[in-house]
Amino acid sequence: MSSLPASLVDELSALLGDGWLTGASERAAHGNDNSRRSALPDAVAVPSTREQVVAIVRACRAHRVPIVARGAGTSSTGAVLPTAGGVVVSFDRMNRILDIRAGDRCVVVEPGVLNGDLQRALAPHGLFWPPDPASAELCTVGGNLACNAGGPHTVKYGATRDNVLGLSAVTGSGELIRCGSATTKDATGYDLTHLIVGSEGTLALIVEATLKLAPLPPQRASLRALYLDVASAAAAVSRIMAQPVTPAMLEFMDAACIRLARDVGGADIPDAGALLMIEADGDAATLPHAVAVLAHAARGAGLLSLDTAPDEIASEKLWAARKALSPALRSIAPGKINEDVVVPVTRIPDLVDGIQALAREFDLRIVAFGHAGNGNLHANILFDPDDTSQDARAQAALPRLFALTLALGGTLSGEHGIGLAKRDFMVHAFDPATLAAMRAVKAAFDPDGVLNPGKVLP
Ligand SMILES: Cc1cc2nc3c(=O)[nH]c(=O)nc-3n(C[C@H](O)[C@H](O)[C@H](O)COP(=O)(O)OP(=O)(O)OC[C@H]3O[C@@H](n4cnc5c(N)ncnc54)[C@H](O)[C@@H]3O)c2cc1C
């Protein structure tokens, strides 16, 4: 049974018609995410226009009813769960690509468009939007903006925050604000655009975005480098990042991941202490030079082998090991805590050593792989949730992983965000004065705390 005030239900059902959902199965379908937690909303609102979003927020605010924006519900941190009940606002019907402006290298979209659909619409114009989460075919641009999503191309092209020019959004006061512009230079006032990006629906509901685009590189080539140990691979990462040719991707796998990709995933790859996958992009005139420079930087003490893939098909073969990894992880452990910690690139060896020490101390399998060029590693704690001892050890290892990351000068999340999962660790990442400044920002945008309560801030 809905516990919403009757007058609110009357107002929103009249406003939204068949976009007002209160059935048990509809509420359940909007109460889960990739964190495997769940929480039921009292109702689901599916607006078609920004005016409807304004009306929903004003009506809910008047009754102090929580509002949780929802894209595709692929959040890995519980960010999208309506843990305090209230109304989930689904952006399913606000999914139009409004204006592709190739000459301005930007596109104007509604928040519900899927990342993958956007890329397909942009490709005929020779353009792409750089954020490339592995979930691109499932997740929305609104969710990408709210979580500051990223992926392998972030090392060269930046994450979501680096690829957005402007937003229209509805604050927790029910005001429609417009920030940024369709220009790549802007020195006008406070930068609210980049404050809202990464705020996980706690400051405002994004109803339109102007996204910065990049030209699609005509060609790509890949290198696969195997190293004796993590220190040699990390030294190569530092050499690669210190020279002028920026790799389009620079991915890392530790020894345990290499074994898993081969033994469980079927990848054709020998044992090694660490692996780097390096991609260059460019055109026929520039690509051979880029590959040669990156290969030179990859060579050094501890290199066991360096394979070059001159074309897309050969590249796919080299990337097979990386792609085999996720399914391989799934098949060996029913439970997985997948964290996306970040450290300065030069601290990668300390992070991997520390993770291996935690694995020994807690008697668990913990593997590390990910976006080495950004120092952003996915540390996966593998366990069986039905084994109470393993479950307890996995939960105990998690705060130690965060403490290790922070001690190395790193940060809690590179791309998944904070949500519920990491909220209580924010007190370790920021001092009280910084957290107080964040709370003051929250209060300015959302004075009654109706937007996504209980997320991000402890
Ligand atoms: C298989 C898989 C692989 C993944 N790989 C990656 C990866 O490589 N990189 C990465 O960064 N993430 C990854 N993720 C996590 C997830 O896909 C991203 O965080 C994505 O950006 C979430 O988009 P969504 O549309 O599903 O948002 P949701 O999960 O619906 O929402 C996420 C957050 O955004 C808020 N939100 C959604 N829409 C709006 C809006 N219009 N206005 C304001 N707030 C809004 C929600 O309230 C919530 O706080 C992966 C997830 C899965 C399931």
Distance between start and end Cα atoms, the chain:
30
The C-alpha atoms of residue 192 and residue 212 are separated, in whole angstroms, by 16
pLDDT at 238 over 70: yes
Distance from the CA of 147 to the center of ligand 1, in angstroms?
6
Summarize the confidence of residues 53-64 as an average pLDDT. Answer: 98
With b meaning 16 or more CB within 10 Å and e meaning fewer, what string describes 344-379? ebbbbbbbbebbbebbeebebbbbbbbbbbbbbbbb
Q: Is the CB of 75 under 6 A from ligand 1?
A: yes
pLDDT band at 132; cut points 50, 70, 90: very high
Please tell me the predicted confidence (pLDDT) of residue 311.
74
With CA atoms as reference, report the closest residue to 85 among 144, 141, 22, 175: 22
Quick: pLDDT tens for 62-83. Answer: 999 999 999 999 999 999 999 9
Q: Top-level CATH class of 333-448?
A: alpha beta
pLDDT at 361 over 90: yes
Give how far Cα 106 sits from Cα of 114, 161, 250, 274, Å: 17, 14, 26, 39
Q: Is 411 in a helix, a strand, or coil?
A: strand
Distance of CA 9 to the CA centre of its chain: 34
pTM passes above 0.85: yes
Let me know: does 387 contact 416? Beta carbons within 8 Å.
Answer: no
Please tell me the predicted confidence (pLDDT) of residue 2.
63
Q: Is the CB of 80 under 6 A from ligand 1?
A: yes
**Lowest-pLDDT choice from 173-177, 309-313, 372-376:** 309-313
The ligand 1 atom at the shortest distance from the C-alpha of residue 326 is 1
**Lowest-pLDDT choice from 116-125, 199-208, 331-340:** 331-340
Quick: pLDDT tens for 133-190. Answer: 999 999 999 999 999 999 999 999 999 999 999 999 999 999 999 999 999 999 999 9
The ligand 1 atom at the shortest distance from the C-alpha of residue 94 is 41
Q: Is the dihedral of CA 104, 175, 44, 20 positive or negative?
A: negative
Distance from the CA of 419 to the center of ligand 1, in angstroms?
10
Sheet holding 204-212, edge to edge: 97-101, 106-109, 204-212, 164-171, 176-180
Q: Is 348 in a helix, a strand, or coil?
A: helix
Let me know: does 222 contact 295? Beta carbons within 8 Å.
Answer: no
- Residue located via tokens 């939204």: 16
Please tell me the predicted confidence (pLDDT) of residue 316.
80
Q: Is the CB of 140 under 6 A from ligand 1?
A: yes
Q: Is the CB of 151 under 6 A from ligand 1?
A: yes
In the structure encoding, which two tokens stand for residue 36, read together? 């495997």
Please tell me the predicted confidence (pLDDT) of residue 400.
97
Mean pLDDT of the chain: 95
Distance from the CA of 43 to the center of ligand 1, in angstroms?
21
Each domain of the chain, given as residue ranges in start order, spans: 6-90, 97-215, 219-315, 333-448
Query: What are the beta bridge partners of residue 166?
Result: 180, 210
Q: Is the CB of 150 under 6 A from ligand 1?
A: yes
For the beta carbon of residue 301, count every other beta carbon within 10 angstroms. 11
**Which has more pLDDT, 266 or 226?**
226
Strands (E), 7-81: 20-21, 43-45, 67-70
pLDDT at 1 over 60: no
pLDDT band at 398; cut points 50, 70, 90: very high
Strands (E), 73-203: 87-90, 97-101, 106-109, 127-128, 164-171, 176-180
**Which has more pLDDT, 16 or 329?**
16
Q: Top-level CATH class of 219-315?
A: alpha beta
The C-alpha atoms of residue 27 and residue 21 are separated, in whole angstroms, by 7
Summarize the confidence of residues 51-63 as an average pLDDT. Answer: 98
Distance from the CA of 139 to the center of ligand 1, in angstroms?
6
DSSP letter (8 states) at residue 365? E
Q: Is the CB of 139 under 6 A from ligand 1?
A: yes
Q: Does domain 97-215 have CATH number 3.30.465.10?
A: yes
- Residue located via tokens 């991609």: 279
Let me know: does 176 contact 207? Beta carbons within 8 Å.
Answer: yes
Q: Which amino acid is at 256?
A: A
Distance of CA 228 to the CA centre of its chain: 31
Distance from the CA of 104 to the center of ligand 1, in angstroms?
27
The ligand 1 atom at the shortest distance from the C-alpha of residue 415 is 11
Please tell me the predicted confidence (pLDDT) of residue 309.
83
The C-alpha atoms of residue 153 and residue 381 are separated, in whole angstroms, by 25
Distance from the CA of 428 to the center of ligand 1, in angstroms?
24
Q: Is the CB of 329 under 6 A from ligand 1?
A: no
Quick: pLDDT tens for 276-307. Answer: 999 999 999 999 999 999 999 999 999 999 99
Please tell me the predicted confidence (pLDDT) of residue 283.
95
Q: Is the CB of 135 under 6 A from ligand 1?
A: yes
Q: CATH assignment of 6-90?
A: 3.30.43.10
Q: Is the CB of 146 under 6 A from ligand 1?
A: yes
| CATH topology match: 219-315 vs 333-448 | yes
The C-alpha atoms of residue 396 and residue 386 are separated, in whole angstroms, by 16
